[in-house]
Amino acid sequence: MGKQLTKLRRRKEAKKGLDSLDDRRDQTLVIHYSCESFYDIKDGRTPRVTSIAVRNFASGQTTSFSIHKSAEQNGVPISEITNHYDTLEKSMLDEFFAFIPTVPVQTFVHWNMRDVNFGFQAIEHRYKVLGGEPVIVADDRKFDLARALVAIFGVGYVPHGEGGRMFSTMELNSITARDALKGKEEAQAFEEGQFVRLHQSTLRKVDVIANILERTLDGTLKTNATWRDQHGFHPAAAVEFVKEHWVWTIIGMVAVVIGLGARIL
């Protein structure tokens, strides 16, 4: 399939996915998490998870899991978290994976949570490392809002920027960045043991993702996309369609000619 037709197909699939979410708001959960920076790890291990937040899109109710909450439950002072990290992280993930089966029909809307570096696989793998047995979230229950926006509006809908497209989208749409940390800020917060701050950032980002989703669904999201980007029109797509479906094109042309001939007669 040609490049432009592929773009049109992806755009159609993304819009179909969004329409499905809009029809099932009470069954849609927005998820985000924070972790140790994988860029700073030198020994090859996976990044430690610091907090996870899951927000019901319809009600706004948010369930969260965090290192500092696990520390409090286990009687560990915040200043001692790093000395008990594996135990506390395991406790936190125990709660998270016990929560997953309680929402069996939901779709998880996320932002770039796609692989073992950052994503569902990363959380699952980390839990396995700590001795747990994760509940696997099926791929058909995941919806990547970041990818959907690129599919619908094009890669230039906002600049990537220092904080990524999430922060650029926030700025363009006047969504406050209060408590939300950028990548470098999160890495620094982890190194300094500011786990409460990381948790607040996770909560804020899950709220931001829900906000962006809402604006996308109601058509009020501001982007830098052109009219052509937003509506999927590109002359090259017509050319590609003719090349790939030439038989139907010829049949259509013949039908037009026969129709004109019949009118003349």
Q: In the chain, where are the structural domains located?
A: 3-233, 234-265
The structure tokens listed for 88 are 């506390």
Q: Who's near 11: CB < 8 A, 6+ residues apart?
A: 151, 152, 232
pTM for this model (two decimals): 0.85
Task: Provide the residue-wise pLDDT of the chain in tens; the chain has 265 residues.
Answer: 556 778 889 999 999 999 999 999 999 999 999 999 877 776 777 899 999 999 999 999 999 999 999 999 999 999 999 999 999 999 999 999 999 999 988 999 999 999 988 999 999 999 999 999 999 999 999 999 999 999 999 999 999 988 899 999 999 999 999 999 998 899 899 999 999 999 999 999 999 999 999 999 999 999 999 887 776 655 544 444 444 444 555 665 566 556 665 556 5
What is the fold, at CATH topology level, of the domain defined by 3-233? Nucleotidyltransferase; domain 5 (3.30.420)
Distance CA 24, CA 27 (A): 5
